[in-house]
C-alpha cells in the first residue's frame, strides 16, 4: 500500500528546483509572449515579470513570480521574492489589460515578498496592501494559478482573482512551516507538524473554499514531466477564462467581492 502523502511532502515537491517555473509555463502554454518592463518609478524587478501573450488564441496579460532557473537567474530574481517595485509593475501591467479589455492570468510561486531593509524603506507593506485593493477592483477577469510555493502576502498580492486554481502538489500559506514551528514551538524540527496544522495543501484549501479547482500533476510531481504539467494548467486556465468571458464587469466585481468576503467564514 502506497504511503499517504503528507503536507510536508507537498512542501518539498513545491520547492523542488526542477519543478516548472514561470518561464517554463510561458514557453509551453503561450504561443507568443511580449514582456513589458519596469514600474515607472524605481526599476524593473526580475522577481515578478509580465507581458501580453496568446494562450490557444486567447489574448491575455500573463504575469507571475520568477524564481529563475540558473544560479545567476536565481540571484537576479531574488529567488522569486519581489520588492515593492515588482508589485507596482504588476499593477501597472494589469491596468493596461483592463484598458484593452483583456483578462489577466497570474502565476504564484514565491516563498514570500522580500523582507530586506531596502524593500521596507521603499514601502513593501504599502505595495502589497495596494495590490490587494487594486486586484479586488480590477474590471477584467482575473485567473490565478498557484504553481509552487504560495508564501504569505508576497503571494497574495497577485492572487486576488475570480478563479483560483492550484496545482496538486503546490502549497499556499500565511507562513512557511519552518517559520510557524519557530514561533509556536521554538523548534524548526516541528515543521512537519506545523505543515499539517496550517492546512496548506491544495486538497485542504479546496475543502476550505480558498481554492476553486485543483490541477492534476503527472505521477511523482510536475518536475517529472513539464510538458504534461503545463498542458494540464493550460486546459484549466482556458476553462476558467471561458467561464468568465461573457460576465459583465460590474457583475464580475460583485462576485469577486462576495468571494473575498466569504473567505474565513466557517458558519
Helices (H) and strands (E) in the chain, counts: 12, 8
DSSP state of 188: G
* pTM of model > 0.85: yes
Residue 174 CB: number of other CB atoms within 10 A? 15
Query: Reduced to 3 states, what is the DSSP secondary structure of residue 104?
Result: strand
Torsion angle of the four alpha carbons 153, 220, 16, 31, in this order, in degrees rounded to the nearest 10: -70
Per DSSP, helices labelled H in 122-225 are: 124-137, 152-156, 177-185, 191-198, 202-208
DSSP state of 201: B
The answer to whether 204 and 24 are in contact (CB under 8 A) is: no
Q: Say which CATH topology domain 7-260 has.
A: 2-enoyl-CoA Hydratase; Chain A, domain 1 (3.90.226)
Per-residue pLDDT of the chain (267 residues; tens, 9 = 90+): 456 789 999 999 999 999 999 999 999 999 999 999 988 888 898 999 999 999 999 999 999 999 988 888 888 888 889 999 999 999 999 999 999 999 999 999 999 898 889 889 888 999 999 999 999 999 999 999 999 999 888 999 999 999 999 999 999 998 889 999 999 999 888 999 999 999 999 999 999 889 999 999 999 899 999 999 999 999 999 999 999 998 999 999 999 999 988 887 766
Amino acid at each position: 500500500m502506497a504511503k499517504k502523502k503528507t503536507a510536508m511532502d507537498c512542501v518539498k515537491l513545491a520547492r523542488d528546483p526542477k519543478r516548472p517555473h514561470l518561464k517554463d509555463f510561458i514557453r509551453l502554454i503561450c504561443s507568443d509572449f511580449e514582456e513589458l518592463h519596469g514600474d515607472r518609478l524605481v526599476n524593473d524587478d526580475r522577481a515578478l515579470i509580465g507581458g501580453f501573450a496568446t494562450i490557444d488564441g486567447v489574448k491575455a496579460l500573463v504575469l507571475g513570480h520568477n524564481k529563475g532557473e540558473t544560479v545567476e537567474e536565481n540571484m537576479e530574481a531574488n529567488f522569486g521574492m519581489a520588492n515593492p517595485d515588482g508589485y507596482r509593475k504588476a499593477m501597472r501591467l494589469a491596468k493596461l489589460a483592463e484598458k484593452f479589455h483583456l483578462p489577466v492570468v497570474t502565476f504564484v510561486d514565491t516563498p514570500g515578498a522580500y523582507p530586506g531593509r531596502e524593500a521596507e524603506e521603499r514601502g513593501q507593506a504599502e505595495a502589497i496592501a495596494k495590490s490587494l485593493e487594486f486586484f479586488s477592483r480590477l474590471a477584467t477577469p482575473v485567473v490565478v494559478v498557484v504553481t509552487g510555493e504560495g508564501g504569505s502576502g508576497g503571494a497574495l498580492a497577485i492572487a486576488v482573482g475570480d478563479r483560483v486554481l492550484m496545482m496538486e502538489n503546490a502549497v499556499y500559506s500565511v507562513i512557511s512551516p519552518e517559520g510557524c514551528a519557530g514561533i509556536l514551538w521554538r523548534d524548526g524540527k516541528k515543521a512537519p507538524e506545523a505543515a499539517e496544522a496550517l492546512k496548506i495543501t491544495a486538497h485542504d484549501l479546496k475543502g476550505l473554499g480558498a481554492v476553486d479547482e485543483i490541477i492534476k500533476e503527472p505521477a511523482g510531481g510536475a518536475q517529472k514531466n513539464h510538458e504534461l504539467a503545463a498542458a494540464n494548467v493550460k486546459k484549466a486556465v482556458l476553462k476558467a477564462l471561458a467561464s468568465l468571458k461573457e460576465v459583465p464587469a460590474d457583475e464580475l466585481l460583485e462576485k469577486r467581492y462576495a468571494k473575498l468576503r466569504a473567505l474565513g467564514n466557517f458558519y
